[in-house]
């Protein structure tokens, strides 16, 4: 094998897939560059995992999946209640995957390991002394939990879970990060949040990319059925909060701003909408479409005039905004959703607006001025093409791997 090409052990707490886009696309582009990748991951035997496994086996040298039964994960989480370990971290602390990772690392078949997400960070112990390892933290989860606490009413049962997880994470996340010599995150905001927690390990910002061949304006655009589109897994608290905010605060303001009101239509595209969200959408008498799970998001983006991402809870970089921009949609985001996309704002394809009034005015402006919206959409796609390619992200990880290998040399050198 070419000495510049690597054999990578890629470790994740879930199966990478086209939906879990960051690890999947990194693996895909590492393989396209000639590197050999073996995946070790937890799985839940769901149909979605079956599809992910099939996609991974097409590109990886090998894929090892350890089942993580719900009952066993719940027992680990319950046992972690009186301990400093966050519940969601305990959920993934399977002894079976720890043994698998150690066995694979001890076999001498790999040059470097890549651990994805804080949920798998404990597996650094299984690699100790065997294999140099880079850690892709992705986001600062302590900051995410802090925001969830702030946005959850104390009467909501989720408040106390969020508070306990945040309290534990303030200690757990910086302690675990210290086990690594190099860390990657998706945004400068996450790097700053980790540093504020006391993490002293070098942190590199490696942004997400977009598959711009898949997400692109259609050659034959469909009729515009929706004025606004917001996409994401709706069972995720941050997305549900944003969707409810869109319906309760933005949509009434748009009715007051637009001359053709009240006819603004909204598409909420994503899996797992709660009963609460469905009831809120039903109050708009057919003007709000809630899709639930969809195999392909592109038709809903293509049928929309403006993408909006009014997140009030969020960390990292928002794939939903990048994908909409790649489809040529003018995009309006909150500061939390846009902090990693300031360049797109300067280029004119994205507007960052703070608060319901500013967000609704930004959306209304592009709904009224269609030519300006079209130009903004073109600018948005150009920005993604120039700044968010997975090939570049994979190259930055290769450089990170080289750094952790150099740092490991003294410890691994035979006297």
Are both 367 and 405 inside the same structural domain?
Answer: no
Are both 341 and 406 inside the same structural domain?
Answer: no
pLDDT (average), residues 28-43: 97
Q: How confident is the model at residue 274 (pLDDT cuts 50, 70, 90)?
A: very high
Are both 366 and 396 inside the same structural domain?
Answer: no
Residue 395, class by beta-carbon neighbours within 10 Å (0-12 exposed, 13-18 middle, 19+ buried)? middle
Residue 217 placed within a domain:
no
Are both 140 and 252 inside the same structural domain?
Answer: no
Residue 348, class by beta-carbon neighbours within 10 Å (0-12 exposed, 13-18 middle, 19+ buried)? middle
pLDDT (average), residues 354-373: 96
The domain total for the chain is 2
* pLDDT single digits (tens) 290-343: 999 998 999 999 999 999 999 999 999 999 999 999 999 999 999 999 999 988
Are both 23 and 169 inside the same structural domain?
Answer: yes
Residue 84's pLDDT is 94
Q: How confident is the model at residue 118 (pLDDT cuts 50, 70, 90)?
A: very high
Give the global pTM.
0.91
For the chain, the average pLDDT equals 93
CA proximity to 47, closest of 76, 22, 77, 17: 17
Residue 406 placed within a domain:
yes
Q: Distance (Å, rounded) from C-alpha 322 to C-alpha 329?
A: 10
Residue 310 placed within a domain:
yes
Residue 403 placed within a domain:
yes
pLDDT (average), residues 93-107: 96
Domain encompassing residue 276? 226-387
Whether residue 412 has pLDDT greater than 80:
no
Residue 44's pLDDT is 85
Residue 82, class by beta-carbon neighbours within 10 Å (0-12 exposed, 13-18 middle, 19+ buried)? exposed
Residue 106 placed within a domain:
yes
Beta partners for 309? 333
Sign of dihedral through CA atoms 103, 64, 323, 142? negative
Residue 411's pLDDT is 53
Are both 154 and 41 inside the same structural domain?
Answer: yes
Whether residue 379 has pLDDT greater than 50:
yes
Q: How confident is the model at residue 2 (pLDDT cuts 50, 70, 90)?
A: low
| Phi, psi dihedrals of residue 86, rounded to the nearest 5° | -60, 150
Residue 214 placed within a domain:
no
Residue 220 placed within a domain:
no
* Lookup result for tokens 């979605």: 48
CA proximity to 245, closest of 163, 387, 356, 135: 356
Residue 415's pLDDT is 44
Are both 289 and 189 inside the same structural domain?
Answer: no
Q: How confident is the model at residue 259 (pLDDT cuts 50, 70, 90)?
A: confident
Are both 11 and 125 inside the same structural domain?
Answer: yes
**Coil, strand or helix at 64:** strand
Residue 96's pLDDT is 96
CATH number at residue 400: 3.40.50.2000
* pLDDT single digits (tens) 338-357: 999 988 888 889 999 999 99
Are both 153 and 247 inside the same structural domain?
Answer: no
Residue 1 placed within a domain:
no
Are both 232 and 374 inside the same structural domain?
Answer: yes
* pLDDT single digits (tens) 165-175: 999 999 999 99
Task: Measure Cα distances from 143 to 22, 166, 193, 340, 352 in Å.
Answer: 20, 8, 7, 15, 21
Are both 272 and 141 inside the same structural domain?
Answer: no
CA dihedral 376, 340, 401, 36 (to 10 degrees): -40
Are both 50 and 126 inside the same structural domain?
Answer: yes
Residue 249, class by beta-carbon neighbours within 10 Å (0-12 exposed, 13-18 middle, 19+ buried)? middle
Whether residue 247 has pLDDT greater than 90:
yes
């Amino acid at each position: 094998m070419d000495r510049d090409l690597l054999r990578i052990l890629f470790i994740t707490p879930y199966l990478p897939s086209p939906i879990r886009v960051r690890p999947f696309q990194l693996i895909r582009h590492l393989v396209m560059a000639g590197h050999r990748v073996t995946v070790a991951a937890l799985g839940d035997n769901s149909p979605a995992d079956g599809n992910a496994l099939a996609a991974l086996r097409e590109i990886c040298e090998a894929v090892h999946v350890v089942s993580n039964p719900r009952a066993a994960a719940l027992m680990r989480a319950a046992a972690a209640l009186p301990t400093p370990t966050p519940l969601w971290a305990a959920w993934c602390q399977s002894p079976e995957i720890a043994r698998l990772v150690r066995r694979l690392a001890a076999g001498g078949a790999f040059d470097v390991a890549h651990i994805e997400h804080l949920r798998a960070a404990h597996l650094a112990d299984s690699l100790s002394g065997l294999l140099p390892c880079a850690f892709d933290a992705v986001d600062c989860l302590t900051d995410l939990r802090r925001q969830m606490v702030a946005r959850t009413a104390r009467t909501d049962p989720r408040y106390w879970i969020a508070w306990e997880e945040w309290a534990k994470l303030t200690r757990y996340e910086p302690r675990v990060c210290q086990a690594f010599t190099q860390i990657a995150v998706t945004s400068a905001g996450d790097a700053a949040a980790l540093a504020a927690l006391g993490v002293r390990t070098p942190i590199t910002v490696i942004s997400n990319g977009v598959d711009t061949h898949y997400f692109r304006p259609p050659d034959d655009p469909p009729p515009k059925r929706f004025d606004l589109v917001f996409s994401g897994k709706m069972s995720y608290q941050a997305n549900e909060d944003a969707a409810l905010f869109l319906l309760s605060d933005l949509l009434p303001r748009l009715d007051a701003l637009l001359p053709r009101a009240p006819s603004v239509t909204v598409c909420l595209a994503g899996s797992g909408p709660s009963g609460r969200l469905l009831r809120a959408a039903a109050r708009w008498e057919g003007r709000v479409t809630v899709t639930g799970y969809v195999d392909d998001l592109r038709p809903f983006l293509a049928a929309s005039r403006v993408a909006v991402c009014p997140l009030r809870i969020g960390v990292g970089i928002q794939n939903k905004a990048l994908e909409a921009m790649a489809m040529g949609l003018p995009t309006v985001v909150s500061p939390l959703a846009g902090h990693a996309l300031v360049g797109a704002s300067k280029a004119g394809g994205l507007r960052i607006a703070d608060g319901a009034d500013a967000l609704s005015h930004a959306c209304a402006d592009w709904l009224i001025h269609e030519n300006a919206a079209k130009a903004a959409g073109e600018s948005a796609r150009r920005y993604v093409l120039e700044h968010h390619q997975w090939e570049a992200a994979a190259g930055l990880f290769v450089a990170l791997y080289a750094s952790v290998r150099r740092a490991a040399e003294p410890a691994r050198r035979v006297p």
